[in-house]
Amino acid sequence: MRKGKSLIGLALIVVGMVFVSIPLYHEWQQTKGVSALEGALASLEVDPLHGSSQELTTEWTQEELEEVKTLEIPSIELEQYVLGETTEENLALALTQINPNQAPEDGNFSIAGHRGYRGDRHFRQLSNVSDGDEVRLTADGKTYVYEVNSISIVDPTQTDVLDDSDDPEITLITCTLSGEQRLIVKGVLVEIIEEAQAV
């Protein structure tokens, strides 16, 4: 009887350790992937005279690396990479652009991201954004500045939030804490800053 209780206790400890280690493993994988991405981006030094770059020895192509954008939301201290295509692999690593090849000034520029397991990774703090907050998307030597004008919770089937618009806007999407619905943050484009101006 006593031996049986000891085995049950030991089994519960092992199960608990497995549950604790799963998010830590995912976080380690994500950190490792981001480090590799940063290294690949650092190696992408284009020669302005010849338009060539160093030979890449990464899992990303030069074209994929050139499509990487950055998203900043100062109010929640968010600064994340945005990869050019939404895939499971890319979502595990960073934020992703929903419509590939879309320019930020063209219609509804939508970005998806997981909530993340802990800390400030991915869109974990997106629910703390408020109306009027600034969202900055940097791509191709320009920074697109948006002002948040709408925050809502929708069902996963409500895909009209991704519909294109006549005016340039941004849509940020992540899961709610329960995972059953989606948090949608929208903003309107208020300014485009050229790289020379930003310095």
Q: Which residue numbers are catalytic?
A: 114, 175
Alpha-helix residue ranges (DSSP H) falling in 43-85? 62-66
**What CA–CA distance (Å, rounded) separates 174 from 154?**
10
Separation CA 68–CA 42 (nearest Å): 12
- Return the ∠ at Cα 41 (arms to 86 and 91), rounded to 5°: 20
Interacting residues of 16 by C-beta distance below 8 A, sequence separation 6+: none
Query: What is the rounded CA–CA span in Å between residue 183 and residue 154?
Result: 7
Nearest Cα residue to 86 out of 75, 98, 76: 98
- Residue 20, classed as helix, strand or coil, is helix
Q: Which of 39, 40, 79 is nearest to 63 (CA)?
A: 40
